[in-house]
């Protein structure tokens, strides 16, 4: 096994955070880290009050990264996110004030409350990793992770993300309620929002960059498993209820996410389990259902497909 992978403290960050600060949150935490490592973004769809912000804050603190937050409303303007150019009287010239997007980790709360124009500016910046304002291009910091949240129960006065834009998120997941025991513990010990500020970083910036590089180049994806991913992708394309199956980008993203998962497990090769574990969070939101089947549970459908596709074992 590759030694640099084994020693990367990024692998310890999930147990570290989950044990001390975010009990019962391994799964969304891990998915967020995977998104970070692959340069993707994560969309968390769940009710308010389940610790989405806490998760983002804790992650930023533990990684020693900067953190920004945008609370979306229907009158939020693109410049409220990207920043704007103002006239500086002292210097007698124009100066660009960077918006919250110029942080390593950006929490976009209730992204579906922002109007489409703002959403699209944000999504464009996520994709391009840069902001262009008044003819000037500003690069976003590296690493850059957007954690967007969406409240699935409130639909009034919202602009749901178009299905095509969903493809821009590497991962969509829910938070879910914590287990009974853990929730009782959380209730007893109160909110940990204050404590999070004091979390000391466990990794430095270089190690994160090194980790991202390792995921990109240091993890081996077997030919058999590439076939496996291809089988999953084509199975969704040929499914009777699905109008548009997983795109090629979806396939690439699944491979990347699986590699990141292998990296976090300290392996330098991908196991079929990595792919199986991540197929639903990475791919379910990309399925576009046929008319009449929109209400079908896409995660269930994908899980069902996975139980039918044999895993290459030899």
Partner 1 sequence: MFRIRNILSSLLCLAAVIGYLPLASYLGAIPKVAIPLAIIFAFFAERKELALKERYSLILSIAAFLFYALQFNRHNVVQPAVEMLAIFLAIRLVGEKSPRNFMQSLTLAMFCLAGSTLFDLSPGFVFYLIALLFVFTVSMVLLTFQSRAAAFEPDSRELRSIISVALLQPLVAAPLIIFLFFILPRTQLPVWHGLTRAGADRSGISESVKAGDKGSISTGSSVVFRAETKKLLPNQLYWRAIVLNSIKNDEWIRQTPPPEKSTIKDGKNVSLNIFLEPGRIPFLPTLNRPERIIGYRGQPHDDRVFPAPRLTGGLRSYQILAKTDATLSTIGSFNKKFYLQPPANTPERLKSLVARAVTGIRENKQKLDAIENIFAKMNLSYASSGLPTGANALENFLFDAKKGHCELFAISFATALRLAGLPSRLVGGYYGGDYNELAGYYVISEEKAHVWVEVWIDGSGWITVDPSRFAVNFEESVSRKRTDFSLKMRLALDSLSYYWNKAVITYDFESQLSAAVRVSQGFQGIREIRFNLRKAAPYLALPLLLALLFMLLTTKRKTPEERLLAKFKRVTKARYGILFSPSSGLHEAVAHLDNADVREFVATYTAAIYRDRKLTEAEIEQLSETVRRIRKTPPV
Binding site for partner 1 (CB under 8 A): 220, 222-225, 269-273, 276, 306-311, 313-314
Q: Which residue, 160 or 266, has its beta carbon nearer to partner 1?
A: 266
**Shortest distance, CB of residue 243 to partner 1, whole angstroms?**
25
Chain mean position to CA 261: 13
Decide whether 288 or 306 has the Cβ nearer to partner 1.
306
Asked if 120 and 15 count as a contact pair (C-beta separation under 8 A), the reply is: no
CB of 276 to partner 1, least distance (A): 7
CB of 2 to partner 1, least distance (A): 12
Q: Output 46 or 299, the one with its CB closest to partner 1.
A: 299
Cβ proximity to partner 1, 20 vs 222, nearer residue: 222
> Smallest distance from the beta carbon of 192 to partner 1, in angstroms?
31
Least distance to partner 1 from the beta carbon of 223, Å? Answer: 6
Closest approach, Cβ 244 to partner 1, in A, equals: 24
User: Considering beta carbons, is residue 237 or 276 the nearer one to partner 1?
Assistant: 276
DSSP 8-state code for residue 235: H
CB of 171 or CB of 270, closer to partner 1: 270
* CB nearer to partner 1: pick between 115 and 226: 226
Full 3-state SS string of the chain: CCHHHHHCCHHHHHHHHHHHCCCCCHHHHHHHHHHHHCCCCEEEECCCCCCHHHHHHHHHHHHCCCEEEEECCCCCCHHHHHEEEEEECCCCEEEEEECCCCCCEEEEECHHHCCHHHHHHHHHHHHHCEEEECCEEEECCCCCEEEEEECCCCCCCCCCCCHHHHCCCCEEECCCCCCHHHHHHHHHHCCCHHHHHCCCCCCCHHHHHHHHHHHHHCCECCHHHHHHHHHHHHHHHCCCCEEECCCHHHHHHHHHHHHHHHHHCCCCECCHHHHHHHHHHHHHHHCEECCCCCCCCHHHHHHHHHHHCCCCCC
Please tell me whether residue 67 adopts helix, strand or coil conformation. strand
Least distance from C-beta 230 to partner 1, angstroms?
16
CB of 219 to partner 1, least distance (A): 11
202 versus 296: smaller Cβ distance to partner 1:
296
Residue with tokens 């639903």: 280
Separation between Cα atoms, residue 221 and residue 252, nearest integer Å: 11
């Amino acid at each position: 096994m590759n030694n640099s992978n084994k020693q990367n403290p990024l692998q310890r960050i999930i147990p570290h955070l989950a044990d001390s600060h975010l009990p019962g949150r391994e799964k969304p935490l891990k998915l967020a880290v995977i998104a970070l490592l692959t340069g993707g973004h994560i969309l968390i769809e769940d009710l308010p009050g389940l610790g989405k912000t806490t998760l983002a804050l804790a992650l930023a603190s533990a990684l020693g990264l900067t953190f920004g937050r945008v609370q979306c409303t229907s009158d939020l303007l693109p410049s409220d996110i990207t920043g704007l150019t103002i006239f500086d009287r002292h210097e007698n010239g124009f100066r660009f004030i960077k918006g919250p997007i110029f942080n390593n980790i950006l929490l976009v709360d209730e992204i579906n409350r922002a109007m489409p124009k703002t959403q699209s500016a944000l999504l464009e910046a996520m994709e391009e990793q840069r902001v262009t304002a008044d003819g000037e291009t500003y690069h976003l910091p590296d690493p850059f992770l957007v954690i967007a949240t969406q409240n699935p129960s409130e639909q009034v006065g919202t602009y749901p993300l178009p299905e095509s834009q969903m493809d821009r998120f590497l991962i969509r997941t829910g938070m879910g309620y914590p287990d009974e025991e853990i929730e009782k513990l959380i209730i007893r010990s109160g909110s940990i929002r204050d404590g999070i500020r004091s979390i000391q970083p466990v990794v430095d910036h270089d190690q994160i960059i090194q980790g991202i590089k390792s995921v990109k180049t240091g993890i081996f994806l077997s030919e058999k498993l590439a076939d496996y991913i291809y089988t999953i992708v084509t199975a969704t394309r040929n499914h009777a209820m699905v109008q548009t199956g997983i795109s090629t980008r979806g396939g690439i993203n699944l491979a990347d996410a699986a590699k990141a998962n292998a990296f976090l497990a300290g392996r330098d090769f991908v196991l079929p389990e990595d792919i199986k574990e991540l197929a639903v969070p990475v791919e379910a939101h990309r399925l576009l259902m046929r008319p009449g089947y929109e209400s079908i549970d896409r995660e269930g459908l994908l899980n069902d497909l996975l139980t039918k596709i044999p895993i290459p074992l030899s």
